[in-house]
Amino acid sequence: MAYFPDLASYAYANRVQPGVVHIGCGNTLTDPIFATSHFIADRTHGLWRYSDAVMHWDCYVLWPNQAKVASMYIEAAVKQSESDPWPKYWSVLLKSPNVLVLYGFAVNEVSVVLRKSGTDMRVSREMWQHWLRIGWREDCRPGLEYDAIAEISAQLAQLTLPEQTPPAAGPT
């Protein structure tokens, strides 16, 4: 399960050619976008085709199913965070009705999954304190993301990141 913050990363991960058309409005996709990898397993679910699709951010924000998809995305993220082998690589720092915060040991980054927007904000360990102070204001898209982070910023500031584990010793 992955969230893609821009069209370039989605296109690269999914081998998509330029000129992709948004499945909702029919216009060519441009940034900013909303895109995830497959997170709805049930092919008969009415929203299944949107769980591995891309759409304009503005279309997503106004979409009548936005809140439902966002809720389903965070629920899938919570379920994944509790399933082996995920906890070996990603530690849960905070789980509340509005946010799931994980720390990835191998990548040294924080993942902030938001219920309101259905997005996953990724922040490197090195940038975490800066992001908490001012960075999120620059990174978040207006509306859903910005409002979601604003509501939980005090909770995020209270988090303590786990100790970094030293790299495994290689052969000598």
48: in domain: yes
For residue 29, what are the domain limits? 1-63
**Residues 141 and 156 reside in one and the same domain:** yes
172: in domain: no
Query: Which residues have a Cβ under 8 Å from the Cβ of 73 and sit 6 or more positions away?
Result: 3, 36, 39, 113, 118
Total-model pTM: 0.86
**Residues 80 and 139 reside in one and the same domain:** yes
Lowest mean pLDDT among 11-20, 88-97, 153-162: 11-20
**Residues 50 and 79 reside in one and the same domain:** no
**Residues 82 and 58 reside in one and the same domain:** no
Q: Would you state the structure tokens that stand for residue 27, as one six-digit string?
A: 């216009």
168: in domain: no
pLDDT digits (tens, 9 = 90+) for 134-167: 999 999 998 999 999 999 999 999 999 998 764 5
**Residues 38 and 100 reside in one and the same domain:** no
**Residues 71 and 123 reside in one and the same domain:** yes
**Residues 39 and 92 reside in one and the same domain:** no
Among the three residues 24, 48, 63, which one is the final residue of a domain in this structure? 63
pLDDT digits (tens, 9 = 90+) for 22-69: 767 888 888 888 888 889 999 999 999 888 888 889 999 999 999 999
- Name the maximum alpha-carbon separation found in the chain: 59
**Residues 45 and 77 reside in one and the same domain:** no
**Residues 15 and 52 reside in one and the same domain:** yes
**Could you count the other beta carbons within 10 Å of the beta carbon of residue 79?**
12
**Residues 56 and 119 reside in one and the same domain:** no
169: in domain: no
167: in domain: no
Q: Could you give the count of Cα atoms lying within 13 Å of 29 in the half-sphere of its Cβ?
A: 25
**Residues 74 and 156 reside in one and the same domain:** yes
Among the three residues 19, 47, 63, which one is the final residue of a domain in this structure? 63
Residue percentage of the chain with pLDDT more than 70: 83
Residues facing 90 on adjacent strands = 104
- Residue 60 CA to residue 63 CA, distance in Å, equals 5
What is the number of domains present in the chain?
A: 2
**Residues 150 and 74 reside in one and the same domain:** yes
